[in-house]
């Protein structure tokens, strides 16, 4: 197998046109390739500047999870820190986790940041939402968002070989008109459910409004965790 390492977007497009299979940290595909056979060509974005950005409001798809630090909001930092083992985090990438993984541990965090994705296809780059990235398995270059007022990440304890643990991600943002909005994303099993509402009313009214979103369809136990996490993030946003 030939591993190609493009250093520009034009090189990356050429690799795609020539059939190179995108690979992140190979933590997910290596075992499959050993079983099913290796492709003739693979492509890593680890040498592509656009895929390696690490800033307060941007994160590249080729960034290794163990490199994610306090330059990004707490919700993303918390999500990355709980993926697998230290060895996994030193090889797994942002793009591989969001696009290639069935667990998508970083997806709830990206959703509550209201992140937009920059993707690459054979015609060039364009911006889209995360739903399209996940559904169509685009080649992700980077994520960008507006810095939240406060954010948080909760992951329930899990058992090795057991079902995916519950994840609740939260963030409070200031909108363009100055009003604040809380966003919540929950991974329950393999499904991710989200909802948002304005923070103009009191905590009880905010929680009741979230119950009227898709979050209200969650089972009772995850809904209790959502209420706790939202109550905490609203207090932190007020204190901040």
Domain locations along the chain = 45-144, 150-239
139 strand-pairing partners: 120
Compare 58 and 22 and report the one with higher pLDDT: 58
CB contact set of 118 (below 8 Å; sequence gap of 6+):
50, 125, 126, 127, 140, 141, 142, 143, 144
Q: What is the pTM of this model?
A: 0.92
Round to whole Å and give the CA distance between 98 and 64: 12
**Of the CATH numbers 3.10.20.30, 2.40.50.140, 1.10.150.20, 3.30.465.10, which one belongs to the domain with range 45-144?**
3.30.465.10
Residue 206 binned pLDDT confidence (cut-offs 50, 70, 90): very high
Round to whole Å and give the CA distance between 74 and 170: 10
On the 0-12 / 13-18 / 19+ scale of CB atoms within 10 A, 226 is buried
Q: 192 pLDDT exceeds 90?
A: yes
Round to whole Å and give the CA distance between 215 and 194: 6
Q: 25 pLDDT exceeds 60?
A: no
DSSP state of 50: G
């Amino acid at each position: 197998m030939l591993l190609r390492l493009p250093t520009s977007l034009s090189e990356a497009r050429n690799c795609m046109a020539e059939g190179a299979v995108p690979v992140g940290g190979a933590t997910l595909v290596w075992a499959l390739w050993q079983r099913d056979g290796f492709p003739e060509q693979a492509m890593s974005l680890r040498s592509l500047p656009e895929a390696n950005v690490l800033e307060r409001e941007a994160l590249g798809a080729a960034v290794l999870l163990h490199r994610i630090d306090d330059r990004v909001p707490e919700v993303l930092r918390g999500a990355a820190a709980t993926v697998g083992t230290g060895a996994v985090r030193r090889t797994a990438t942002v793009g591989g986790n969001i696009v290639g993984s069935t667990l998508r541990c970083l997806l709830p965090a990206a959703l509550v940041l209201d992140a937009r994705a920059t993707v690459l296809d054979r015609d060039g780059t364009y911006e889209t939402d995360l739903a399209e990235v996940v559904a169509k398995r685009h080649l992700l270059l980077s994520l960008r968002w507006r810095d939240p007022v406060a954010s948080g990440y909760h992951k329930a304890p899990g058992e090795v070989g057991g079902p995916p643990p519950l994840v609740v991600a939260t963030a409070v943002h200031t909108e363009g008109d100055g009003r604040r909005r809380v966003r919540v994303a929950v991974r329950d099993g393999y499904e991710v459910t989200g909802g948002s509402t304005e923070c103009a009313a009191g905590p009880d009214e905010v929680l009741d409004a979230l119950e009227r979103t898709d979050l209200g369809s969650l089972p009772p136990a995850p809904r209790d965790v959502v209420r706790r996490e939202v109550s905490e993030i609203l207090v932190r946003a007020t204190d901040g």
